[in-house]
Amino acid sequence: MLSESLAKILSNGRCLTADELATVRTPRRSEHGATRQSVLTTVMSLSTFEQCWKTGEAWSLAGQCPHWHRDALDDPEPVLESLPSMFAWQTEALVAWHEAGSRGLIEAVTGAGKSMIALHAIHEIVLSGGRALVVVPTIELQAQWLVLLQSAFARRFIVEKLLDRVARIYTEPHIVVAVINSARDGSFSVTGNGNLLVVDEVHRCASPVNARVLDDRFDYRLGLSATVARPDAGHHRYLEPYFGPIVYRYLYAEAVHDNVVARFRLTLRAVTMYRDEWDGYLELGRLVRMLHRAFLSKYDLPIPDGEFVAVLIKACAGHFSTRSPELQEVAIKLRQALFQRRTFLDGLRSKLDELARLVPLIHRAKRCLIFGQTIASAEASAAALLQQGVRAASIHSGTPRSLRREQLYRFERGDLEVLAAPRILHEGIDVPEVGLAVIATASSSERQLIQRLGRILRRKPDGSAAQLVVLFASGTVEDPTFGAQADLLPQLIASAKSFEILGQPSTPMS
């Protein structure tokens, strides 16, 4: 079996990449790519193997990575030469966190380096004899944190990842990285005082199920996010009572001014729908308005500005059923209609045609990400660009994990010019340097836009500016003329190196 063959190759404590494993196993095989894929599938699916503690790109037998140094743990005064220095804003944020009792939330633009603050906080905790648990939303982000922590601490402290729900967090490791789904159901042995809980993408903990991660036995607590606030107000209910308030906020304008993130050019491109698309949109609009009126009549109380979404979500969960027995049913129908309209706008043929017009821009960019709302739109975008001669692929939650890594590898290597995705690239997953991002479906979600913009904001080696293109269907709820992105758009325009809006047609095409 392949797994036995790979285990034999790695049995002497070796640490090899998937390419190296494929070459060692079948040096004369011509179908090298297929062999590499089978190797990746095998090592990623079995607990027998694990990623290199140092690089994250190679593989070893579990617990036998040669880069995992335990021999330096007895050093009485560890010196962490590899712990990077911080920007001025990161130092200020860490000081603010300490002044709040080493508890609090830090909100900072994606790409500015929130994780560096956590590294220094963890450093302080483990030096004083405490332990740290880092909780992340996805397996991909767990792997990235593991590499980050291992490169900074592995020579002096034991850093491990939680593979399952086994209660072994504070038995030996100083630092543990866990995915939220496992961490929330683990029965951790949190002993002694001075332990730290770090939650990356902390807004994901603001739900009844995920809030189980927020263990009161941790003395020190640090939550990180680009956007702490949630439309259902879960940050008020779960995050602030546990972590405390936002102790430091770092916005786009400040990050651009400080040269912490790349400058970017912002372009809004209006898309004219075809006649049948316009008719379909109007029909959905009538349904939304009818259900909206019905909801307001049954709720029968004024809803403060900006709180409608939070009220609607609570109504869907049945919070107000005693006020009106039919309110929950109407709320669910309204939410479904809103989702149906958003999905409809996501799949417009006219937007695929507009993507084709962006091909020259895509070719000039070093790499390009395309964001939609659904898996179907991501696949359609990739297919449309392939027809135009663009090397494109889609990546989404339905993509097998091994293929996901393969697509990211090809994207980094330059074999792919474009990756099209719905939401999988929003939180945490590191992507190579990207010069262009296209948002094929404008969203009313501030968090979503911030996360998408963050994919291109990391500073470029040559200091060049990135480019963000937002497509919107003219005359619809995506149109800035009708208030779309009203809270965030002025900030984006103020932060952008340049801004333009292309086309504002009002008459749908036949």
Task: For 169-185, write each residue's pLDDT tens digit.
Answer: 444 678 888 888 888 76
pLDDT at 74: 38
Count of domains observed in the chain: 4
Evaluate whether residue 428 is within a structural domain.
Answer: yes
Structural domain of residue 357, as residue ranges? 264-273+349-502
Single-letter code of the amino acid located at 498:
S
CA gap 258, 271 in Å, rounded? 35
Mean pLDDT value across residues 217-241? 90
| Domain match, 116 and 203 both | yes
Report the 3 state secondary structure along 28-85: CCCCHHHHHHHHHHHHHHCCCEEECCCCCCEEEECCCCCCCCCCCCCCCCCCCCCCCC
Cβ atoms of 197 and 224 within 8 Å: the answer is no
81-85, 158-162, 272-276, 345-349, range with the lowest pLDDT: 81-85
Evaluate whether residue 189 is within a structural domain.
Answer: yes
Evaluate whether residue 83 is within a structural domain.
Answer: no
Q: Mean pLDDT for the chain?
A: 79
Q: Mapping DSSP to helix (H, G, I), strand (E, B) and coil, where does residue 161 land?
A: strand
Mean pLDDT value across residues 38-43? 73
Q: Between vectors from CA 49 to CA 23 and to CA 395, what angle results, nearest 5°?
A: 75
Question: pLDDT tens digits, residue range 82-102?
Answer: 577 888 999 999 999 999 999
Question: Could you tell me the strand order of the sheet in which 466-473 lies?
Answer: 392-394, 418-421, 368-371, 436-439, 466-473, 264-271, 498-502
| Domain match, 341 and 432 both | no
Cβ atoms of 10 and 61 within 8 Å: the answer is yes
pLDDT classification of 29: cutoffs 50, 70, 90: very low
Among residues 332, 351, 312, 313, the alpha carbon closest in space to that of 442 is found at: 351
Q: Between vectors from CA 86 to CA 85 and to CA 89, what angle results, nearest 5°?
A: 165
| Domain match, 297 and 226 both | no
- pTM (predicted TM-score): 0.68
What's the CATH code of the domain at 121? 3.40.50.300
| Domain match, 337 and 476 both | no
| Domain match, 310 and 446 both | no
Name which residue leads in pLDDT, 148 or 493: 148
Using the predicted structure, report yes or no on whether residue 30 has a pLDDT greater than 50.
no
pLDDT at 234: 87
Question: pLDDT tens digits, residue range 244-284?
Answer: 999 999 987 788 788 787 777 888 889 999 999 999 999 99
Question: pLDDT tens digits, residue range 138-152?
Answer: 877 888 888 888 888
